[in-house]
Amino acid sequence: MATWSDSVYVAFTMDALSRFICGWQASQSLRSDLVLNALEMAIWQRRGELEGLIHHSDGVSQYLSTRYAERLAETISGLYKTQLICRRGPWKGIDDVEYATLEWLDWFTHRRLLEPHGNVPPAELEAAYWRKEDTSIIEELKEPSLR
């Protein structure tokens, strides 16, 4: 996205099951550090566990098939742009984008209710998974019942 001073690119790493955004990075360039730093944050968040993570970036050069990546990532970039970037811009610079992204990520992961999850936010589903106490929602997502 364009800012008053430069362009800003944002990459996200999301858990495929819970849709919890585990890592993200904003940068003024499309160097490989953009996607690697988002992935490293997700690995740190997951204490080294990579199972179930998918990565999505707006950068066309990072993927052989952008359409494929967008399909896997529930068009996270589309949601991000529609719900935050287009609504609240124009942006002065990367610092403003990063701060607003933190606010949006807090809403996206802690307050956004997802119908496929039983109307619970991704953070709640994540917490249940890591506690291993309440797996009913997780089992429903893995094997949806035929209605």
C-alpha closest to that of 46 among 72, 15, 71: 15
Comparing 143 with 63, the larger pLDDT belongs to 143
Q: Which band of pLDDT confidence, cut at 50, 70 and 90, is reported for residue 73?
A: low
Count other C-beta atoms under 10 Å from residue 124's C-beta.
21
Q: Are strands 53-57 and 21-27 parallel, antiparallel or unpaired?
A: unpaired
Residue 136's contacts (CB-CB under 8 Å, 6 or more residues apart) are: none
Q: Which two tokens stand for residue 13?
A: 């790493």
Comparing 46 with 112, the larger pLDDT belongs to 112
Judged on CB neighbours under 10 Å (0-12, 13-18, 19+), 101 is buried
d(CA 2, CA 41): 25
pLDDT computed for residue 62 by the predictor = 46
pLDDT digits (tens, 9 = 90+) for 7-64: 888 988 888 778 889 889 999 988 878 888 888 898 888 877 766 666 555 554 444 4
Among candidate residues 41, 63, 115, 102, the one with its CA nearest the CA of residue 15: 41
Task: Render pLDDT for 83-102 as a digit per residue (tens, 0 to 9).
Answer: 999 898 888 999 999 999 99
pLDDT tier at 115, thresholds 50, 70, 90: confident
For 5, other C-beta atoms within 10 Å of its C-beta total 13
